[in-house]
Amino acid sequence: MGNKIAVDPDRLEELANQFVLDLTAIEAEYKQLHLDLYNLISNAPAEYSHCFSHVGDPWGTGNQLVDRLSEMEQDLRMTANKFSDADNLVAKLYKLYDKYGALTAMGALAGKKLTYYGLGFTQFAKNTDGLFTYKHMGILHQMSEAIDSSKYRNLARAFLKPTYLSKKYRDVPFADLVHKKVAQYLPDDVVKFSDSSRGLYRGFRNKTLDASKFKSFVQTGAKFGRTNVIGTLAVTGLVEAGGMGLKISENYSKYGDQPEILKRENAKAVGNAVNNTVAITGGSIAGAVVGGALGSVVGPVGTVIGATAGSFVGGLVGEQAAKLTAGLAEKAAMVFKEPIHDGLEVIKGGLEKSGKAVEGFNKGVDFMNDQIKSTIADPVEKVKEIGNGLAKAKETASSLVDGAKDFLGDKFSFF
């Protein structure tokens, strides 16, 4: 016997859908039984009320059964999705490209920062106390002073980044903002975190670690990590919101005529988006702090580059961690499935239109998967099929040309 089994993801999804329909019917039934029992007890003569003292209430038992069925439906649909993903060769290729693209982007970002420091726009040096200081290139420093004292100060800051107009950066020199634009962190925050990290290392190495060194590391590290919270959260949230929107649109296309399934699946989409945003953002921020601390061994430049790499790795770790809490997030979100559904119904028309587009895209992906699998299964036959298709196309084109010649010959024979 073979060691492989065949699983149809569509069949698993059908079973999950049936679970939802069954638990909906059970929920309606036990609630009605609860109401009927309540009315029976309320209307019974007082002398017979003691007869109901040991009669159980279907509400608690029904709730437990529905909760159990709900968890089974979640597990079943997750299993179906995993089988579907495993069978989706196009998605695997895209994910490979996505990881490759992310690595390339990270390398380009680190390269940009190294170029900035290599050209000397901002330099770091140790003072007599062994702590780091920083200074900007002369031309950058002079330009900063000129801009900060001119009427174009706010315009220049907004050109760098609109958020630099906020109260938080009101007293920050323009040159420091240029550094932050490239390195993501203000130079003063980089210097302080580098110094506290190196102080912590020395404390461990020389066995002179005390509470003040650890407190300094925690305080400067928290500020260093907090610098990127809003940006990281915004980027991650934007990506997850886009994915959530596509999933909800797909749900309207698939389950538009099955409202109970639609409510659950849309709530899951919202829960997963929130779960991923929190996990990936948290991992990215933690990774930046850890990477920055490790990189500080070679100084502030290492702190910045280490934070860049750490943020990327932390994001990947957060992505994997999100998978572990996905079930809990879905279950929590389903508590709010009714208000979520009511909110989405306001924009139902747009979601249904988007759903048709997503459905068309999915059909295209299915077709591509079928073509890839058939090619892998029998490449020789596939090449013949392509050759026959090209030959047929050539014959069709030739017949069209011949037909055109005949038409022109008949209609314009006087030429």
pLDDT digits (tens, 9 = 90+) for 305-344: 999 888 888 888 888 898 888 888 988 998 898 999 899 8
Average pLDDT of span 175-186:
92
Distance from C-alpha of 55 to C-alpha of 50, rounded to nearest angstrom: 10
Residue 107 lies in a domain: no
The count of domains in the chain is: 3
**So what's the pLDDT on residue 290?**
92
Same structural domain for residues 234 and 309? yes
pLDDT digits (tens, 9 = 90+) for 108-146: 778 889 999 999 999 999 888 889 999 999 999 999 999
Residue 281 lies in a domain: yes
- Is the pLDDT assigned to residue 408 strictly greater than 70? no
The one-letter amino acid code at 46 reads A
Residue 363 lies in a domain: no
- Is the pLDDT assigned to residue 172 strictly greater than 90? yes
C-alpha angle with apex 111: 105 to 117, nearest 5 degrees? 145
- Is the pLDDT assigned to residue 299 strictly greater than 70? yes
Same structural domain for residues 226 and 339? yes
Same structural domain for residues 281 and 398? no
Provide the mean pLDDT of the chain. Answer: 82
**So what's the pLDDT on residue 391?**
61
**So what's the pLDDT on residue 141?**
92
Same structural domain for residues 273 and 337? yes
Residue 187 CB partners (closer than 8 Å, separation 6+): 122, 124, 134, 176, 179, 180, 300
Of 66, 86, 106, which residue is a domain's last?
Answer: 86
Buried b (16+ CB within 10 A) or exposed e, 291-326: bbbbbbeebbbbbbbbbbbbbbbbbebbeebbeebb
Residue 132 lies in a domain: no
- Is the pLDDT assigned to residue 415 strictly greater than 70? no
Residue 311 lies in a domain: yes
Same structural domain for residues 282 and 234? yes
**So what's the pLDDT on residue 13?**
84
Residue 160 lies in a domain: no
Same structural domain for residues 383 and 253? no
Average pLDDT of span 194-211:
87
Same structural domain for residues 400 and 304? no
| Percent of the chain residues past pLDDT 90, beyond the cut | 23
Average pLDDT of span 382-409:
60
pLDDT digits (tens, 9 = 90+) for 41-72: 778 787 777 777 766 777 888 888 888 888 88
Distance from C-alpha of 380 to C-alpha of 385, rounded to nearest angstrom: 9
Same structural domain for residues 220 and 262? yes
**So what's the pLDDT on residue 412?**
47
How many CA atoms lie within 13 Å of 142's alpha carbon, on the beta-carbon side? 3
**So what's the pLDDT on residue 382?**
55
Residue 91 lies in a domain: no
- With 0-12 CB in 10 A as exposed, 13-18 as middle and 19+ as buried, what is 334? buried
DSSP codes of every residue in 78-136: HHHHHHHHHT-HHHHHHHHHHHHHHHHHHHHHHHHHHHHHHTTSEEEEE-TTS-EEEEE
Of 86, 110, 128, which residue is a domain's last?
Answer: 86
- Is the pLDDT assigned to residue 271 strictly greater than 60? yes
Phi, psi dihedral angles at 4 (to 5 degrees): -115, 150
Distance from C-alpha of 230 to C-alpha of 169, rounded to nearest angstrom: 15
**So what's the pLDDT on residue 51?**
75
C-alpha angle with apex 370: 366 to 375, nearest 5 degrees? 150
Average pLDDT of span 222-233:
78
Query: Which pTM value belongs to this model?
Result: 0.73
Comparing 95 with 298, which gets the higher pLDDT? Answer: 298
Same structural domain for residues 215 and 353? yes
Same structural domain for residues 316 and 391? no
C-alpha angle with apex 209: 204 to 214, nearest 5 degrees? 105
Of 86, 117, 152, which residue is a domain's last?
Answer: 86
Q: Report the number of secondary-structure helices (H) and strands (E) in the chain.
A: 14, 2
- Is the pLDDT assigned to residue 289 strictly greater than 80? yes
For residues 188 and 176, is the Cβ–Cβ distance under 8 A?
Answer: yes
Same structural domain for residues 58 and 26? yes
Same structural domain for residues 334 and 398? no
Residue 316 lies in a domain: yes
Lowest mean pLDDT: which of 106-115, 160-169, 290-299, 380-389? 380-389
Q: Which domain holds residue 397?
A: 379-409
